[in-house]
Amino acid sequence: MTSAVITAQPRQSVREVAMLMRRHDVGSVVLERDGRPVGFVTDRDLTISVLAEGRAHADAVGDHASSPVITASVDSEVDECAQLMIRHGVRRLVLVDGGRIAGVVTLDGLAQRSRGRDDVFTRLSAQITRAATPILN
């Protein structure tokens, strides 16, 4: 779990959030209201739904975010988190403690943890990748 989660408000502009991503060298931001997750936006979301569609960088980032946010309790086991990620086809899962943002589990984090190991993390990483990768026609 990454506990240093970068957050933004849904009403912030796409440009502000893109600059936040650059400043913190991250590819995703959790949108929050009163410490509770209300959306999730990735650099890919901004590329596909803002740049490729010719939308304004002044748009509210909440208009381009995934919602509802897929969450799990901060006390969840890795396997439980991975199963949620597989079921919902997501590469990132927001962990909450009492409904408030506590961290994020990512496919990359699971993959790094499994590097050079032939164990549960390798298996889970592969399953999540398959579930979260869109089928191209």
Ordered structural domains, the chain, with CATH: 1-69 (3.10.580.10), 70-137 (3.10.580.10)
Cβ neighbors of 59 (< 8 A, separation 6 or more) are 13, 14, 50
Q: Going edge to edge, which strands form the sheet with 71-73?
A: 71-73, 92-97, 100-106
What pTM, to 2 d.p., does this model score? 0.79
Which residues make Cβ contacts (< 8 Å) with residue 46, sequence separation at least 6?
Answer: 14, 17, 18, 61, 64
Give the mean model confidence (pLDDT) for residues 72-82.
88
| CA-based nearest residue to 103, from 128, 75, 125 | 75
pLDDT band at residue 137, thresholds of 50, 70 and 90? very low
For residue 136, the number of C-alpha atoms closer than 13 Å in the C-beta half-sphere is 1
Look at residue 66 in the predicted model and tell me its pLDDT.
Answer: 86
Mean pLDDT of 12-35: 95
- Pairing of the two strands 36-42 and 92-97: unpaired
33 vs 127, more confident: 33
d(CA 28, CA 76): 22
pLDDT (average), residues 78-92: 85
pLDDT above 90 for 67: no
Of 27-41, 81-95, 110-124, the poorest mean pLDDT is in: 110-124
Of 85-89, 92-96, 102-106, the range with the lowest mean pLDDT is 85-89
**Contact call for residues 100 and 70 (beta carbons, < 8 A):** no
Cβ-based neighbour number of residue 83 at 10 Å: 17
Beta bridge partners of 40: 30, 66
Hey, what are 124's tokens?
A: 């889970």
